[in-house]
Amino acid sequence: MNAFVRHGFRFLKPLVNRYVGFLLLLFGYMLVAQKYGGLPAATTAWRLEIPLVLYLFYYLNRITRRSRWQFLLTAVPIFLMYAVFDVYHLLLGRLLRLAEVSELPEMMQVIHPGLKILLVLLLGFPLVALLWSTQWRRYRPLLLGALPLLAMVVAVEGYPAFFMRVFTGTQREIDWLSDTVNAGTNGRISMALYNEARRRVSLEKTVAYRGDSSFQQTFDQVAGRVNALRSKGNVHLIALESFVDPNLLRGVRFSRNPVHPAFATLFSNKGGLTVSPVFGGATAQAEFEMLCGVPAMRELSGIEFDVFTGAKTLCLPNILTHGGYHTVASNAFLPDFFNSTNAYEGMGFENIYYPIEYAPGRDTYLGTGDVTGEAYMFDGDLFTQNLAFVAQWIKENPGRPIFNYIMSIYGHTPHDLNLDKRPKVVEMLGDFRDEQLERVANQYYYRTEALAKFVKDLMRIDPKSIVILVSDHLPSLTYGPNTYSALDYLGKTEDYIHLNRIYIVENGRVVHYDTIHHYDIPRIILSYVTHTKFDQKGIAKGDSVLAHHDPTDYRAQYMAIMANAMQGQSFFSALGFLSSSDKPVPAPAPEPAITGPPAGL
C-alpha cells in the first residue's frame, strides 16, 4: 500500500478495499439470486463482464463526492441493474434485451399501482441520490472516464459486426439455444450488449430479404390455392390471455375441479399442448407466432410487433384475405399496446376492433362492459359480443368466409376477481397457500364456462368451421417459474414453463393433436381450409416436444416476413397484388385436386 502513496496514487488506496468488498458482495448477490430463480451467477465471466462492472464502479467513485455513503451511492445502482435482469428472468423466464426497454411503458400500464410506486421508489431514489452526489464541475474525470463506455456504445450501435467478431473471438462460447446459459458464462450486461449488436446486424441484413422471390412464389401459391376453393370453412382463432389449466399443477389440490362441467363435457379430455415462445408476459410474441407461422426469434426487436409499420407481409391473415376471406381481429385491450394496430394491419386484417372505451374514435362493435373490481374485460362479455358480430356477418354475407381472430385480456395479472359477480367456487386444499393461484383457479372456472357456451353457440350457427382456443402463455403467478416447479406442473417435463393448453374443434367435432408449437397453428388452419391433412411428422419425436423443428430452420422466412413488415412499401406491390380495398376478390376458379398440405408459412 505504501507504494501507492510514494507514487502519488493516494486516491486509489481506499478503492482497493472497495473493489474487493464490492466484488464479494456482487458474487454473493448473484449466488443468492440464482438460488431463488434468478440468472446463473457469472462468477467466471472475467473476460468482459467483471472488468466492465469494476470499471463502472471505479468511474462512479471518481465522479462522486467523498462521503461515508459513497460506497452505497456508487454500488447500489449497479446492484439494481443486476436485479432488473434477475427479476425480469424470474417473472418472464428470459434474459432482458436492450431493445425491450421500449416495452417498459406497456409493462407499467398493466402492473398494480402499489407495485408501480414501489418500482419508481426503488429505481428512482438511488438514481437521484447518485446524481445529487455527482461532482458536475469536475469535467475532466467526467468526460475522460466516460470514454470507454462511449466507445463500447459506438461499437455496438455503429459497428455491430465488428463488435460481434471481437466478442465471439474473446468471450466464452455462445449457446445459441439459451440466453440464460450465456448470461452465466459471459455475464448479463455483456450478453445484452452482444444481443443488441446482433439485432443491429440483422436489421442491416433485412434489405436482402425484401424482394426474396422464393417467398413471393410461396405466398402466390398458397393464396391462389385458397382462393380457388369452391367451399371455404370459417376460421375462429381465440387467443386466451394466461389461460393456465390448474389441473396440470400436480402438486396442489382443489376443493372441486376448476374446469366448468360444461367445458369438461364438451372437450372430454381432448385438450392438447402447444409450446409458447414466452412465459409470464409479452403476449405479442405468442400472437406473432400464431399469425405468421414462424418462431418469434427477437432478432430485430425484443418484441416483433414493435417494428411493424403497417406494410403488408407474409402472414396468415394476408393469405386468407387474398384467398377470399374477410379477416377480422378483435382485441380486448388498448390499440397502442405492443403496437398491435400496425402489426394487425401489416399481417393483413381488413378490420381491427377494440373496445369503445379504449378507442373512442374507431369503428367498433366492442364494449368492455362492467370491469369493476377486475380491471379487465371479462371473457364472457367479449365472446357474447363477438358471437353476435359473427352471426350477423354470416347472415348478411353468405358467400364469403370469415377469419375471426380474438385476443382476450381477462386472465392478466393480478387476476382480480369481483366476488359479487363471480363468487369463489374453488378453494385450495393442503398446506400450500397461494391467494393469486386460488384466484386464477376461480377465474378458470368462469372462463371455461364462458368458453363452453361460446363454442357451443358457434357450432350451432357455424357448424362447418374450425375453432381453435389457445393460451398465449402461462401467467407468472406469485413466484414465476418457481411456482410451477414447486407445484410440479406437467411433471416438470422438458421446457414445461412454455407448455400451454390448446383445444380444437373441426366441423363440430373435437380433435386432438400431439404437442405442437404456436407457430404450427397457421399450418393447421391452412390444412383445414384446403381440406388436407395436417402433417405432424417429426412432432414430439422421441421424448422431446422440441425435436420436430430447429427454430433456425425458419430464419430465412422469419427475416423475409420482418423485412417486409418494416418497410414503407407494401409487400404485395412487389408481388403484383393491390391492397384488398383496391382490388376485388377474383371469382373462384374450379377447385383443384389437392393431394397434400399447402406450402407452409
Q: Helix or strand or coil: residue 239?
A: strand
d(CA 252, CA 262): 23
φ/ψ (deg, to 5) at 327: -105, 125
d(CA 42, CA 46): 9
The helix/strand count (H/E) of the chain reads as 21, 11
pLDDT of residue 569: 35
pLDDT of residue 595: 33
d(CA 447, CA 442): 9
φ/ψ (deg, to 5) at 260: -65, 140
**39 with 86: CB under 8 angstroms?**
yes
Task: Supply the CATH classification number for the domain 210-575.
Answer: 3.40.720.10
Q: Helix or strand or coil: residue 38?
A: coil
pLDDT of residue 590: 31
Other residues' Cβ atoms within 10 Å of the Cβ of residue 384? 16
d(CA 289, CA 522): 9
d(CA 468, CA 571): 28
How far lies 214's CA from each of 73, 173, 362, in Å? Answer: 57, 34, 37
Q: Domain map of the chain by residue range?
A: 2-206, 210-575
**520 with 591: CB under 8 angstroms?**
no
Terminal Cα distance for the chain, rounded: 67
d(CA 223, CA 599): 10
C-alpha cell at 116: 408501480
Q: Could you write out the DSSP letters of every residue in 462-508?
A: --SEEEEEEES----TTTTHHHHHHTTBGGG-TTGGGEEEEEEEETT
pLDDT of residue 481: 87
Q: Helix or strand or coil: residue 350?
A: coil
The amino acid sitting at 103 is E
- Which class for 429: exposed (0-12), middle (13-18), buried (19 or more C-beta within 10 A)? exposed
Average pLDDT of adjacent 10-residue blocks, the chain of 601 residues: 49 66 92 87 90 94 91 92 85 70 63 74 86 90 91 90 90 75 90 84 74 72 85 94 94 94 93 93 92 88 80 90 94 82 89 87 87 91 96 92 96 89 92 87 96 96 95 90 90 92 95 93 92 60 40 80 68 31 32 36 56
Short-list 247, 261, 238, CA closest to 448: 261
Cα Rg of the chain, angstroms: 26
**What b-and-e string marks burial along 158-179, b requiring 16 or more CB atoms within 10 Å of the CB?**
eebeebbeebeeebbebeeeeb
Short-list 403, 237, 389, CA closest to 318: 403
**What b-and-e string marks burial along 539-555, b requiring 16 or more CB atoms within 10 Å of the CB?**
bbeeeebbebeebeebe
